[in-house]
Structure 1
Amino acid sequence: MSSNSDHHISVEHTDGVATIRFTRPSKHNAASAQLLLETLEALYRLESDDSVGAIVLTGEGAVFSAGFDLEEVPMGPASEIQSHFRLKALYYHAVIHMLARIEKPTLAAINGPAVGGGLGMSLACDLAVCTDRATFLPAWMSIGIANDASSSFYLPRIVGYRRAMEWLLTNRTLGADEAYEWGVVNRVFSEADFQSRVGEIARQLAAAPTHLQGLVKNRIQEGSSETLESCTEHEVQNVIASVGHPHFAERLAMFRSKEMRSSALAVDLDAVCGGR
């Protein structure tokens, strides 16, 4: 997909990594209806693309995303405005649901401010990294809108109930270091190193077996709302499924060979367990 003015995103493929880039820098990469639909379409394509092992979401320019594009809101009666937000919310939530459902790992590469729905989209990714100049702002309070974009689902799970309430009610801005302390991002990189470090992480994710990553995503997402008995039973089902995959037979044979034991990919069980 090209990044010209006809599109609100671009999609780039490199070394097994697909990068979805929001390409509306003059609008602070605000999520227009077109941007959301293009992102959803891209995720559907990437889900079935076997050449892609990891997906990166990022913004062009100095901002990750300013959230909902308020310039699209109609200046009409309340019913018209409500209909507009209902439709946009459905688009937004379809993207977020797809980010959760897709087996491939997703990485939010937060190159600048993540505001409102932009923050919500970053929370919906499996991992998140940011530059040291990135900022994070809920913003819903300041524009008179109830929080959405999955924030009520992901925020308490990521930062905890008290911090989620504090953040949404006070509407304060978090800097990169505080976002890292709270668990909003996994890593903070200098702006100079950001692109190269994002590439390293994404390539590492892309090189791992997708079917196992999908099982991990499913268990982590579902396990937090299950009983211990249900969670462990589903873990057993996933283990049985994974050992029936050809990948396991290959890895088991490698593990038992001297070649695997001497490779950098192997876990040195002797060192870990104190054996010979």
Structure 2
Amino acid sequence: MNNDNKLYENILFNISEGIAKLTLNRPDKLNSFTQAMHLEVRDAFEKIRADKSVRVLVLTGAGRGFCAGQDLSDRAVAPGGQPVDLGDSVEKFYAPLVLAIKELPMPVICAVNGVAAGAGANLALACDIVLAAKSATFIEAFCKLGLIPDTGGTWHLPRLVGPARAMGLALLGEKLTADRAEQWGLIWKALPDDALMTETLALAEHFACAPTKGLAYTKHALQVSWANTLPDQLKLEAQMMRELGNSHDYREGVDAFIGKRTPHFKGE
């Protein structure tokens, strides 16, 4: 086990048996972001990318909430005598975080254990698979402050739930329950509160033994499909299948299927 918690004040982070777990850890502030927490999360992502043993990331929050978005008491974004450049905060911290999740060559599971509001909601939606406790809620709270849904919200919302529901969520800022979020296709699954982390870790263990390279290619192919024409996407599929077809994991998967045994994927 690689446990780096001692290095951080605002997050908990460890790597064990192929699973990286990152917990936002400002429970008294509903895990809202400060610049200090952003920098710690960024450092954890660098460790994940550098550690070839990692095959899945679990992101969650400590205490009764997942993430309430930006800590508005953080001096870097608090209105005062001088105008606040919120675009600078988005460009330096939130946008790179969303891209880091998207570009990570492995599944990223988000376990939403409570309220996910503002940037916290959109951080969750940037992940590959979102599980939520039934008591959790999603709130696009930006409209209450005269802002827009950042952290990828304007990109993910219409793609996940369609333009009409995305517009309603963004313009009204109403709470969306986990059950409704599942019904609308915003998240993968809503779970009983006491089953959230058990189910999350079971899924993480599944991915830790899965053919990681194939999953990473699948993740990338689905992401770029929004910008590709069908002929371009078909070419990409052929290129990926050509490479993956020569991999150890494909040979292992076929051998295991024919031999009616459990495959042992290397993830390479």
TM-score, with length taken from structure 2: 0.91
Q: Give the match's secondary structure for 1:193.
A: helix
- Which amino acid in structure 1 is aligned with residue 106 of structure 2? K
Q: Residues 129 and 188 of structure 2 are in contact (CA less than 8 Å); yes or no, is this contact kept in structure 1?
A: yes
| In 1: Cα distance, 2:249 partner to 2:49 partner | 20
Pairing 1:141–2:143 present:
yes
1:53-132 alignment runs, 5 A limit: 53-72=55-74, 73-79=77-83, 81-82=84-85, 85-90=86-91, 91-132=93-134
1:1-276 alignment runs, 5 A limit: 1-2=4-5, 7-72=9-74, 73-79=77-83, 81-82=84-85, 85-90=86-91, 91-256=93-258, 260=259, 262-263=260-261
**Kindly, what percent of the aligned residue pairs are identical?**
28
Q: Residues 138 and 176 of structure 2 are in contact (CA less than 8 Å); yes or no, is this contact kept in structure 1?
A: yes
Cα offset for 1:52? Answer: 1.4
Cα offset for 1:250? Answer: 2.9
Q: Residues 3 and 23 of structure 1 are in contact (CA less than 8 Å); yes or no, is this contact kept in structure 2?
A: no
Stretches of structure 2 lacking an aligned partner (at least 5 in a row) = 264-268
Query: Deviations for 1:74-132, whole angstroms, at most 9, x for unmatched residues?
Result: 443453x11xx233212111110000001110011000000000001001000000111
Partner of 1:273: none
Q: Residues 180 and 186 of structure 1 are in contact (CA less than 8 Å); yes or no, is this contact kept in structure 2?
A: yes
| In 1: Cα distance, 2:151 partner to 2:107 partner | 19
| In 2: Cα distance, 1:123 partner to 1:134 partner | 14
| In 2: Cα distance, 1:251 partner to 1:181 partner | 33
Moved segments of 4+, more than 6 Å: none
- Which amino acid in structure 1 is aligned with residue 227 of structure 2? S
- Which amino acid in structure 2 is aligned with residue 138 of structure 1? E
- Which amino acid in structure 2 is aligned with residue 183 of structure 1? G
Cα offset for 1:264? Answer: 5.9
Cα offset for 1:59? Answer: 0.3
Change (3 A) 1:255 1:176: closer
Stretches of structure 1 lacking an aligned partner (at least 5 in a row) = 266-276
| In 2: Cα distance, 1:62 partner to 1:217 partner | 30
- Which amino acid in structure 2 is aligned with residue 208 of structure 1? A
Q: CA RMSD in A?
A: 1.6
- Which amino acid in structure 2 is aligned with residue 2 of structure 1? N
| In 1: Cα distance, 2:21 partner to 2:179 partner | 25
Cα offset for 1:3? Answer: 6.1
Which structure has the larger Rg over C-alpha atoms? 1
Q: Residues 13 and 19 of structure 1 are in contact (CA less than 8 Å); yes or no, is this contact kept in structure 2?
A: yes
- Which amino acid in structure 1 is aligned with residue 36 of structure 2? Q
Q: Give the match's secondary structure for 2:66.
A: coil
